[in-house]
Structure 1
Amino acid sequence: MSTPTPVVFAAVFVSSLLAAAREQGYAIEGFLREAGIDPQQPQDLDHHVTVDQYAALLRRTIAGLDDEGVAMFSRKLRRGSFALMVRSALTGGTLVGGLYEFTHTLRLLQDDLNPVLLDDGHRVRVELRFSNPQMQARQFAHELILRQLWRFMTWLEGGNLRPVGVDLQFPRPDYAGDYQKIFPTEVRFSTPHSAVWFDSQALQAPVRRDSSHLDAYLDKSLLDLLVPAIPARVGDRVRAYLQEERALHATWPDLEQTSAALHCSASSLQRHLAQEGASFQNIRDSLRRDWAIYRLQTTKLPIPVLAEELGFADSASFQRAFKRWTGQPPGQVRKGL
């Protein structure tokens, strides 16, 4: 059976994850090796890691530091802190009550962050208000906490809840395109506070989980943090369809095949994608890029064979496209295998 197309992140996310631990003098090279990441690989926009490597690195760093805050807070969030927050939320009755209990417990466990719950009758939002300027300056702190809030609330609701938007206090980075992999909703940058927004009415629903579901959730929560599984936007549905077809049939459907599978015309699909700031070609190319990087870094597959896997007419066409996607020739990415 063919494996699913791996999700690939720019390696700059690795640098963000490890920044606080590095600054405090922790030896992090072992964490990288155990996650299958070469410590000598530059952690920049031109190099990539798979989501499995990234999740393994996060898991290993938490275990090695005994800190679920990965050295960002002034006092450790020792392992078990997240489970404690989740257990408190299960007593909330409604989803908004669970969100309040979760954020209240987070405040009790550390002194650097005050997550404020606000409701204007239409939207509920959790704003991140920092008392520690050093932590506030870390983009990863904003990303990790908001992802945690979002994915936890989705689990608490039963799997279908999604936020209506995410605000990030820092300026739009060069790698903002990768944010759609972890925040597949409207993302706004340079806002007064980082925040995650939910529909108020949706949060009046009852909590649909109990302690019997807890162990299974905690076992997969790190990977769930990184790859939200709800294909809510049209672009997410397109991406999910393309990944499924590649996994099942080793093919990359074109626009007409994809629109037919999603029960709409090609022009309608393109229009909906454009409203989300996306295009079919960009989504398809990003998946093919990720698959190419994964195959180059994990196999010795000849370039012409990989080009055929990706649906290119010949090796030269693939190499031109790959250099356009990544700024590097395929051989440079494979170097050192």
Structure 2
Amino acid sequence: MYRMSSGYANVLVNTLSAEGLDVASLCREAGLDMQIANTPGALCERRVIYRLWQLAAQASGDPDIGLKAYGHFHPGSFQIVGYTMMSSLNLKRALERLVRFSPLIGNGFSLFFVPEQQHYRLASLDHQQSGSIKPRQYADAGLASLLGFCRWLGGGKLPQPLSVEFSYPEPKDIGMHQRLFDCELTFGSAYDSILFDGQDLLRPLSMANEALAVLHDSFAETQLDLLFGLSITGRIRALITERLSHGQGQCDTESIAAALNISKRTLQRALEKDGTQFKDVQNAVRRQLADFYLRHSHFNMKHVAYLLGFHDHSSFNKACSRWFGMTPGQYRADESFEMEEAASV
């Protein structure tokens, strides 16, 4: 079951309230307890969030209502994740922390923060479940609130997106999208993503505080440990994703166990308890990142293989044939191929 944090529910409730909607009635119909939005650390089912966005679009008659989340977030909405971002040296470090601690915001999605030449792209992939269809308002709200938060941290109109990609088909009217993002827009993409100018992300933040950043990181790590206390698989997956996303190819059992401050044998036993093995978790992450790099970046094949931790191109070719039924080059060139849902571990 996929869940979202109370912070996200709070952003949603604030947005609908500011739009003059009958929030209490909509929440009842969607099955959302409004108290959750005001309870730090609480979680709600993602399908309920989906349903509430659908009802809000119908009640308001505004299919663009998700974009209104840009102006109705609060820095505390991301809770400890937001505080780690606020104390960061710059937006690049803030977004790296967002990816690192994203499991505290919710599950059922993966975030990627990857360089593209001198720029950086933050992309999100939602793992879908049977009977639950992601409404476009959910995607809009995620991108809009992210941009709003980044600009709040930056203290002005920066960062200015270079391009934004949406995972749904192009609507008849994209006027509000154009006014809000003011950049190249692409619809029908595999991911929801924003490409930022690298220089914008390296500007120092006025609230940067290294001592606080260390303190916040420590607390967030503790929260992750508590979150995955009964299932370490998600924590391992997050660490592997973080390392491979940043080109840190060393993702063997020993290095991940050391990062978790546990022995290799303890890690293996924990995975066995969850009915999986380290190689299976690593393979699932590699497959998902391979899809992202091949579909969504201009990296050459040698560099993609390096990022994924393959020592030679032949091994990467064999892995892609196993994952996608074709070579990396064929997969990148085959635009008609619809991405399969990423394996969930």
TM-score band by shorter chain is 0.3 to 0.5
Q: TM-score, normalised by structure 1?
A: 0.40
Give TM-score, length-normalised by structure 2.
Answer: 0.39
